[in-house]
Amino acid sequence: MATKATPKPITRTALRKLIDQLPESELVAAHRYLCYLRDEGDPFLYALKNALVDDEPSTPGEDAAADKAWQEYLEGKAMSADEAKGKLLA
Protein backbone atom coordinates (compact mmCIF):
# COMPACT_ATOMS: atom_id res chain seq x y z
CA MET A 1 0.00 0.00 0.00
CA ALA A 2 1.43 3.37 -1.00
CA THR A 3 1.73 6.07 1.61
CA LYS A 4 0.99 9.70 0.94
CA ALA A 5 3.99 11.96 0.92
CA THR A 6 3.79 14.80 3.38
CA PRO A 7 3.56 18.01 1.37
CA LYS A 8 6.31 20.54 1.90
CA PRO A 9 5.18 23.70 3.64
CA ILE A 10 4.62 26.59 1.26
CA THR A 11 6.90 29.53 1.91
CA ARG A 12 6.68 33.13 0.72
CA THR A 13 9.86 32.49 -1.22
CA ALA A 14 8.22 29.59 -3.06
CA LEU A 15 5.19 31.74 -3.84
CA ARG A 16 7.38 34.56 -5.16
CA LYS A 17 9.21 32.07 -7.38
CA LEU A 18 5.90 30.77 -8.70
CA ILE A 19 4.71 34.33 -9.42
CA ASP A 20 7.94 34.99 -11.30
CA GLN A 21 7.17 31.96 -13.48
CA LEU A 22 3.65 33.10 -14.41
CA PRO A 23 3.07 34.34 -17.93
CA GLU A 24 2.42 38.09 -18.18
CA SER A 25 -1.14 37.36 -19.31
CA GLU A 26 -1.96 35.80 -15.90
CA LEU A 27 -0.58 38.55 -13.65
CA VAL A 28 -3.87 40.45 -13.44
CA ALA A 29 -5.73 37.30 -12.39
CA ALA A 30 -3.03 36.37 -9.87
CA HIS A 31 -3.07 39.88 -8.42
CA ARG A 32 -6.86 39.86 -8.15
CA TYR A 33 -6.87 36.48 -6.40
CA LEU A 34 -4.09 37.41 -3.97
CA CYS A 35 -5.97 40.61 -3.10
CA TYR A 36 -9.09 38.52 -2.50
CA LEU A 37 -7.20 36.20 -0.16
CA ARG A 38 -5.75 39.18 1.69
CA ASP A 39 -8.99 41.13 1.97
CA GLU A 40 -11.75 38.53 2.08
CA GLY A 41 -10.03 35.38 3.26
CA ASP A 42 -9.86 36.56 6.88
CA PRO A 43 -13.34 36.21 8.44
CA PHE A 44 -12.67 38.98 10.97
CA LEU A 45 -11.48 41.45 8.33
CA TYR A 46 -14.41 40.49 6.11
CA ALA A 47 -16.89 41.16 8.92
CA LEU A 48 -15.17 44.41 9.83
CA LYS A 49 -15.11 45.58 6.23
CA ASN A 50 -18.80 44.74 5.74
CA ALA A 51 -20.11 45.98 9.07
CA LEU A 52 -22.84 48.57 9.04
CA VAL A 53 -21.81 52.11 9.83
CA ASP A 54 -22.92 53.19 13.29
CA ASP A 55 -24.47 56.54 12.47
CA GLU A 56 -26.63 56.77 15.59
CA PRO A 57 -25.76 59.94 17.49
CA SER A 58 -24.40 59.53 20.99
CA THR A 59 -26.48 60.66 23.94
CA PRO A 60 -25.43 63.43 26.32
CA GLY A 61 -24.86 60.75 28.98
CA GLU A 62 -22.54 58.79 26.69
CA ASP A 63 -20.65 61.97 25.81
CA ALA A 64 -20.24 62.82 29.51
CA ALA A 65 -19.00 59.30 30.31
CA ALA A 66 -16.49 59.46 27.44
CA ASP A 67 -15.26 62.88 28.60
CA LYS A 68 -14.86 61.59 32.16
CA ALA A 69 -12.97 58.50 30.99
CA TRP A 70 -10.68 60.61 28.81
CA GLN A 71 -9.93 62.94 31.71
CA GLU A 72 -9.12 59.95 33.95
CA TYR A 73 -6.78 58.67 31.26
CA LEU A 74 -5.02 62.04 31.04
CA GLU A 75 -4.62 62.05 34.83
CA GLY A 76 -2.99 58.62 34.78
CA LYS A 77 -5.96 56.90 36.38
CA ALA A 78 -6.44 54.54 33.46
CA MET A 79 -6.53 50.79 33.99
CA SER A 80 -4.27 48.55 31.93
CA ALA A 81 -5.77 45.80 29.81
CA ASP A 82 -4.31 43.20 32.19
CA GLU A 83 -5.91 44.93 35.18
CA ALA A 84 -9.27 45.09 33.42
CA LYS A 85 -9.01 41.43 32.43
CA GLY A 86 -8.18 40.50 36.02
CA LYS A 87 -11.22 42.37 37.34
CA LEU A 88 -13.50 40.83 34.74
CA LEU A 89 -12.28 37.32 35.45
CA ALA A 90 -12.30 37.69 39.24
pLDDT for position 3: 63
pLDDT at 4 over 80: no
Helix (H, G, I), strand (E, B) or coil at 51: coil
Q: What is the pLDDT of residue 68?
A: 96
What does the pLDDT look like over 29-73, one tens digit per residue? 999 999 988 888 888 888 888 899 988 999 999 999 999 999 999
Q: What angle do CA 29, 35, 39 make, to 5 degrees?
A: 150
Domain map of the chain by residue range?
14-49, 60-89
